Every structure is written in C-alpha cells, then in structure tokens.
Amino acid sequence: MSGCHSSASHADGIVLDNYTSIIQTGEIEAGKPNKSELFEVITESDPDKRMPPPPAAALSPELIEQFRVWILQGAKNNACQSCDTNKIISFSQDVQPIIQTACLGCHQGSGASAGIDLSSYAGVKAVADNGKLNGSILHLNGFSPMPKNGNQLDICDRTKIIHWIQAGSLNN
C-alpha cells in the first residue's frame, strides 16, 4: 500500500516498494508465513497492531491468501517480467488490484487525499475520464505524480491502466 513504507517515507525503517527491500527487512521467513512478522501484522485482529492501520481498510482475504502462499512457496522473486496488454484489460482483474495496492492508502473514504476517492469504479472512472489518472501515473507536467513521494508504478501496471483508459475505461 502506498504512503507508509515506500523508499521516500520508510515508516519504522521498513521499505516495501520492491522485492529486494521486502526481503532485506528480515520480516519474512521464507516458507513460514506464521513466523513472518509482515504476515502477522496484516492478519492481526487488534486494530492497534494491524497494518495497514485504521482508518485504512484491512487487506482483502484474497490478497492476504496470495501473500501467505507466496511466503509458503519460498518468497521468491518470481514476478512475471512480461506484460500481456494484447488482451482486453479488465477493470476488476487488472486495474482495480493496481489501484488497491498503490492508491488506496491515500485515496479512499471521507478522508481521501485531494478529495479523490478511488475505492469504487465510479471514482476511478472519474479521474480516468478527466485525464488525472493518466497524467499522475505517467508523472506528466501539470499533474501530481502518483504514488506521492514514491516510485512510479512499474511499466506493466502503467501500460495496463493506459490501455484500459484508451479502451473507454469500462467497468468490466
């Protein structure tokens, strides 16, 4: 999630915006999710200890399960290095997970940064239609670069969002 543990903010000295930094935290024990501090804090039931902290929403059960399986399988750097944008880009399958990971730390609910709430399709569609989403993720002049104080989204994620916008920002 953006905003807390990026290379710019590094809250509590923990940087989670790339594989090397995640592994170097020492907070993950490969093969053992229940002995991994990072897994423990995202599954914590005590809101004072949970990450991300309230008022941010807890991670979805699906995302937590993906994280658990990744650790269980050895916490390997096995991200796909190719980006298939020849297929139809789907909001729910392709764009929404990127938004959840990179944007909702700051852009959700009544306290959404700059009044931009990206927690729903309608909110994302509004900034896609007015050009702010494209301009911000590409760090174009005249737009606030996003994620704020963080690294630009990887090329695959940027490309997926741009293709989705170019195809009409469908709720698919």
2-36 tens-digit pLDDT = 567 777 677 788 888 778 888 888 889 999 999 99
Q: pLDDT tens across 124-165, in order?
A: 999 999 999 999 998 888 899 998 887 888 888 988 999 999
Which residue is associated with the tokens 């994280």? 67
Cα distances from 97 to residues 1, 16, 30, 34, 103, in angstroms, run 11, 17, 24, 25, 10
Q: Between 56 and 121, where is the model more confident?
A: 121
pLDDT at 80 over 60: no
- Reported pTM: 0.56
Which residue is associated with the tokens 């009409």? 168
Which residue is associated with the tokens 């301009």? 135
Sorting pLDDT into bands at 50, 70 and 90, what band is 123? very high
Distance CA 59, CA 67 (A): 10
Cα distances from 13 to residues 9, 26, 112, 138, 152, in angstroms, run 9, 12, 25, 27, 20
**Domain chopping of the chain, boundaries:** 11-72, 91-166
